[in-house]
Amino acid sequence: MKKLFFITSNKGKVHEATEKLRPLGFSVVQKDLGYPEVQADFLEEVAAWGATHVQGRFNHPFMLEDAGLFIDALQGFPGVYSKYVFFTIGLEGILRLLRGVENRKAVFRSVYAYSKPGKKPIIVIGECTGVISTEKQGNHGFGYDPIFIPVGAQKTFGEMTVVEKNQYSHRGKALDKLAIVLKDLQ
């Protein structure tokens, strides 16, 4: 097994990545270094900046991930501010903002940055379209999972197992792209 460091404090993200990358021969190792998240317009900028920052302190190949929930009726909000919004107004706040709104379309985006010492980070993106439910459903996963129903599913990410979620998820799709990059680099 090849060791791949994942720079994150989120054990849920590590679990998802482990399930996706283990069959490809990678052992995902969580490394909670922390890094400041730059305020930017696009997730790609946040991930690239984070990777460059971590490169200065960590001399091993690693990956990090940034994600956001973009809700149509809210003009893409919370988007790049998803983590902050989750910890301030939470799921209840998002549901309040959408009370009475018919258009509940949303997209989850995930951006992984893979970095090797001295090299420019490689960025991959995954997306999952869906809708925001009218109430919290399920207690699996993390973040916005209990209010997001992916297209083609009848339940929220919060009601799915990790294996089920990885069939739809933005992170799963981004990890599939990252796996191709990692194979090509070997």
Residues in the chain: 186
CA distance 15 to 177: 18
Detail the DSSP E strand segments found in the chain. Answer: 2-7, 26-31, 62-71, 78-79, 105-115, 122-132, 148-150
pLDDT, averaged per 10 consecutive residues of the chain (186 residues), comes to: 91 88 90 84 92 92 95 96 94 97 97 92 96 96 93 96 87 90 77
Q: Looking at the annotation, which residues are catalytic?
A: 66
The predicted structure's pLDDT at residue 14: 92
Task: Given CATH 3.90.950.10, say whether it is the number of domain 2-185.
Answer: yes
The predicted structure's pLDDT at residue 2: 86
Tokens of 114: 């893979």
The predicted structure's pLDDT at residue 62: 95
CA distance 148 to 143: 10
Helix (H, G, I), strand (E, B) or coil at 9: coil
18, containing H or E segment: helix 11-21
